[in-house]
Amino acid sequence: MKVVIFCGGLGTRLGEISEAIPKPMVKVGGEPLLIHIMKIFLSFGYRDFVLPLGYKSLYIKDYFDQKKLDQLGVNVELVETGESTGTAKRLTLIADNLKGEERFFVTYGDGVSNLDLTQLLNFHLEHKKLATMTVVHPPARFGQITIDKSAAITSFNEKAPLIDSWINGGFFVFEKDVFEYLSSEDQMLESEPLANLVKQKQIMGFRHEGFWQCMDTPRDKRFLEQCCREETLPWMKF
């Protein structure tokens, strides 16, 4: 199975950190976050990657010279898909790179997780739908407080995960027929295409309770850097 990693977004919420380089190339623990993501898939035996490029794509192209590919032991197809292209459109632009694939993984170039990819794939195959989305608990930005009728605070959890809610965790499995849900219009995958899959009952949610972290903000980057300094790398502990 091939692995698609979206690498074309602007990464505006990272501010000046991603002004000079694309977000997937921002270094965490001395390596681009993109390499950390690829190593997650490599640890499960997946080494064929398709990278839809956009914003400052030259940095990614320069990084993956033949020496680097040999060192990593991967096959990488780099495809220009435009600087401001939506994620659904980017998928349609790499359709030729996925010919012959019955199904494929898709993820974003800004998130890591200790997701068990074997369990994800087995779940997908078991349910026989066109798509499976990994869902995770959203991290809390603020402490959670419980208050009773008398206004007394009965509990306070400092930035505990919101365990009653689920969000898109960014690791998908798609069947080849998912392209029928992608139009020629410039759309985000997360809008009409996924909504239509929901309407047609063609998408399942794989619940992941373990580690998950995106790199949307400088605070997120600092947290991932801390993980590297402590040599914990929780996204590599399956």
How confident is the model over 111-130, as pLDDT tens digits? 999 999 999 999 999 999 99
**Cα-Cα-Cα-Cα dihedral sign, residues 40, 49, 110, 67:** positive
- Percent of the chain whose pLDDT exceeds 70: 89
- 3-class DSSP assignment, residue 127: helix
Q: Which band of pLDDT confidence, cut at 50, 70 and 90, is reported for residue 158?
A: low
Share of the chain above pLDDT 90, in %: 72
Structure-token match 């399956």, residue found: 238
Q: Is the pLDDT of residue 159 over 60?
A: no
Whether the CB-CB separation of 212 and 120 falls below 8 Å is answered with: no
Residue of higher predicted confidence among 68 and 207: 207
Query: Cα(113)–Cα(234) distance, rounded to whole angstroms?
Result: 8
Name the nearest CA neighbour of 37 among 25, 20, 52, 55.
25
| Confidence band, pLDDT 50/70/90 cuts, at residue 157 | low
Domains, the chain: 3-236 (3.90.550.10)
Strand 103-108 to strand 3-6: parallel, antiparallel, or no bridges (unpaired)? parallel
Predicted TM-score (pTM) of this structure: 0.89
Closest CA to 161 of 114, 110, 210, 216: 210
For residue 107, the model assigns a pLDDT of 98
CB 203 within 8 A of CB 104: no
Q: Is 120 left (phi over 0), alpha (psi -120 to 50) or beta?
A: alpha
